[in-house]
Structure 1
């Protein structure tokens, strides 16, 4: 079966063709080089963000820049929000013939380097905001947005697994930076720590920009920065709600875990170790999430992982994580599932809007995430209290964010099950439709235009069936 995204009229004829869509190109191949390039890129962008917990704990306890706790927390959140806010610019640059994916990533590497060098000379909080917040955030945004839509273009059957391997770079990068940053601050000071990081990031991200190659022309990618029509789709709104609540919990958990460990009595080096192991768990957990997503179902794994993280924060983090051993166990368990949205965002987006619209849909998604990313850690720090149990409100808020994300994500799953039931497809056709919602939409549109095709029941209450039915979606 072959169903083309942009030719729904011919769907009935093509439905007789037994050739699957993935036969149009050889899955993998150079795609694995692309995955390696995106892996390196994530390690030296989001990996540094993951290690910000070490910087934050140092800022909070040393008062280096003489700022309030909320001021320090704002720096980390701002770097993420600026990265997401840069999504329209990055999307436009990628779609511009004179720029493209590679040059956009290289520009991002330059801004990242400028941000780190600027941070090494910072003496006041506003210097840190402009360098570690704005400049680094802009660079990370150009690198991340330009590369996020590329891995799904090279895979169909193993799309989630390949995307998760690329996303796991942030975990392994966070592991290295968490350990290295703490050691560099102790041995060579904060300023030189930033300068060493600047050199490493520039070299690594430049190499990554050379390795990454997109297939935008081959698949007809649509690079519209503001495709507001997507907000008319209820399923897209559910997807946004899942992402917003997930990133609120994720940012607080990533940025707070090192300071929390020191609050319960661990030393700075022990807390840094816990943060590093949290990132290691992210690096190992995301490929496992991707591999299981391709076999069990992307929405199934994404939502169950989200729920599991919420329950871990609700019970284990509150009642169990008090000693070094228990904090390590929590870090390993929570880290494996905390960043599930980064491992599955592109494959799930492909199911919601179709492969060709991924760049436009992700551009809007990053914009939606700007405010929650900016104020997530600010909320976390404001909820923090002194003394024993000072993190209780932070822990509860994080848990409720993940559990709320699961509720919206499970509703999205119910919609997907309902939509699949509206079309009459055999097993092979159904598997192909599950991988790419754009293909499923073309089938539905073609059936609605064909008077000879038997109309399936479209009772809206039947969408509730997807809340409890066991199905691979």
Structure 2
């Protein structure tokens, strides 16, 4: 008779005796529910789960391809740049706003059923949008609120499931899942631009809805829980900890500028004489760079520490916006900006959960992370619209690239401010000099 430790939702439970002939592991959880787990970790069906979650994550990437639609609608004079940016940011903000609601839904209905609901909402949002392309109010509801809720459920469903199937390879599995988001944004940016050119915006929305249901429905059906998830809660006592206050403020400030580049890349490309098609390709490059940044900065965090890695992502974002974007008067420097900023942008989202786990451990991770993610909502909702208002104040996208500079300085300074908060967090967490890499 041997003893093997089993982990449920990243929390250790008591050792359970198994024999060499057993093919199942019998686990009694803290709430006295009995579950049977396949005696397979770091492989087997877990890779199916990772693939299914990656597909679902790809369609959450629909949110970050809105810049292509925004540029098209702006040229049709449907609404101002700031209003159109607000539609896209509403959907992205929904991921954070509905995060706790989504978590409770997943706990009650299970990951598979919640993923099916996500599939239905994302598909419906695209299809309904195809009938109201000239209605700003309608697009706020369909492509803003409904799509945001659907993506929130899908994102939260994918966020915790791989950890039920992987231990030693959990980082790799999560990296593949989160990278799917960047890949999806790339694919849908190119697909949307191609469809807009050939069939117009109404049928573009419809085709996207057909593609969404065709891919996410099978992925949702493959989802399978191994354990009942813990519910995220709110622990106000965390605000007594200076490190948490600074993390919360850093997240609040950092997300204001993060959506400015992906939403404005097509508009800026047009202002310097780049075609709409090439502008959509640049947005796709940004998304691929974001996917690479999620994996790269996540791996870097294992080497130099997650807090230091998070600080570097924010510095990269700030420097690229303040130093590279303003001098991007032609294609070559603009491509450099897109790649660098995309990597830093994606790295932020990959490293923040690691920082929270590093500081508060697995026992408080779900609560602390849910509260930190809730701070994203303000920046998601208002970050790009504020940049849009600034752009309009200086003449709009038709006034040339000089009109974009005040918005660039706004975005870059916000990233720099967020980095300063993280620098203090690192000092409080380590009590060592920053470049000690401890």
- Distance in 2 separating the partners of 1:230 and 1:215: 30
3-state DSSP of counterpart to 1:240 = helix
CA separation of 1:237 and 1:35: change in aligned 2, threshold 3 A = farther
Residue 341 of structure 1: aligned partner: 348
Match of 1:177 in 2: 188
Structure 1 position 140, deviation (Å)? 0.7
Deviation digits for residues 16-73 of structure 1, max 9, x if unmatched? xxxxxxxx9844554443332222112111x11121110111111112xx33332212
Superposed CA deviations along residues 191-227 of structure 1, whole A, max 9, x for unmatched, are 111111111112322233234445554xxx5313433
Q: What's the counterpart of residue 59 of structure 1?
A: 73
393, 416, 437: which is aligned to 2:406?
A: 393
Distance in 2 (alpha carbons) for counterparts of 1:146 and 1:87:
10
Q: Which of 370, 384, 389 is the equivalent residue of 2:377?
A: 370
Alpha-carbon contact 2:295-2:347 (below 8 Å) kept: no
Q: Which moved more, 1:134-143 or 1:78-87?
A: 78-87
TM-score (norm 1): 0.78
| Structure-2 change in CA distance of 1:161 and 1:250 (3 Å) | farther
Select which of 247, 255, 264 maps to 1:239. 247
User: Out of 81, 86, 98, which is 1:69 matched to?
Assistant: 81
Please say if residues 68 and 193 of structure 2, whose CA atoms lie closer than 8 Å, have aligned partners that are also in contact.
Answer: yes
Alignment partner, residue 140 of structure 1: 151
Within 5 Å, give how 1:184-333 maps onto structure 2.
184-214=195-225, 216-217=227-228, 222-319=230-327, 321-333=328-340
**Alignment partner of 1:84 is 2:92:** no
Q: Tell me how far 1:469 sits from its aligned partner.
A: 4.7
Q: CA deviation at 1:345?
A: 3.0
Q: Does the CA-based 8 Å contact 2:315-2:415 persist in structure 1?
A: yes
1:382 corresponds to 2:397: no
The verdict on how the C-alpha distance between 1:179 and 1:151 changes in structure 2, with shifts beyond 3 A counting, is: same
Bigger strand fraction: 2
SS of alignment partner, residue 339 of structure 1: helix
Deviations along 1:259-279, one digit per CA (max 9) or x if unpaired, are 111112212112111111111
State the Cα RMSD in Å: 2.5
Query: Structure 1's 273 and 223: CA in aligned 2 closer, same or farther, altered over 3 A?
Result: same
Q: Give the aligned partner of residue 93 of structure 1.
A: 105
- Of residues 171-180 and 339-348 in structure 1, the stretch that sits farther from structure 2 once superposed is 339-348
The 2-side partners of 1:382 and 1:113 are apart by 31
Residues 262, 268 of structure 1: 8 Å contact kept: yes
* Equivalent residues of 1:78, 1:373 under 8 A apart: yes
> Is the aligned partner of 1:106 residue 2:116?
yes
**CA–CA distance in structure 1, aligned partners of residues 227 and 244 of structure 2:** 22
Closer, same or farther: CA 315–288 of 1 in aligned 2, 3 Å:
same
Note the residue ranges of structure 1 that are not aligned, 5 or more in a row: 8-23, 418-462
Contact 2:70 2:81 in 1 (8 A): no
Higher mean alpha-carbon deviation, 239-248 vs 126-135, is at 239-248
1:415-426 matched pairs, under 5 angstroms: 415-417=428-430
Compute the displacement of 1:255 (Å). 0.8
2:420 paired residue number:
407
C-alpha distance in 1 between matches for 2:308 and 2:164: 22
**CA separation of 1:471/1:30 partners in 2, compared to 1, >3 Å: closer, same or farther?**
farther
Aligned pair partner of 2:360 in 344, 353, 375: 353
Match of 1:266, SS?
Answer: coil
CA contact (8 A) 1:38 1:166 kept: yes
Which of 56, 73, 84 in structure 2 is aligned with 1:41?
Answer: 56
Question: 1:258, CA displacement in angstroms?
Answer: 1.4
- Structure 1 segment 5-16 matched on structure 2, within 5 A: none
How far 1:119 moved relative to its partner? 0.3
- Aligned-residue offset at 1:154: 4.7
Cα distance in 2, alignment partners of residues 185 and 6 from structure 1: 48
How many aligned residue pairs are there? 400
Q: Note closer, same or farther for the CA distance 1:270–1:401 as it changes in structure 2 (3 Å cut).
A: same
Structure 2: unaligned runs, 5 residues or longer: 13-38
Judge conservation of contact 2:310–2:352 (CA < 8 Å) in 1: no
Give the whole-Å Cα distance in 2 for the aligned partners of 1:296 and 1:35: 27
CA drift at 1:237: 2.1
Q: Secondary structure at the match of 1:67?
A: coil
Partner Cα separation in structure 2 for residue 405 and residue 213 of structure 1: 38
State the match for 1:446 in structure 2.
none
Give the corresponding residue for 1:120: 130
8 Å contact kept, 2:251–2:373: no
The CA deviation at 1:405 is: 1.7
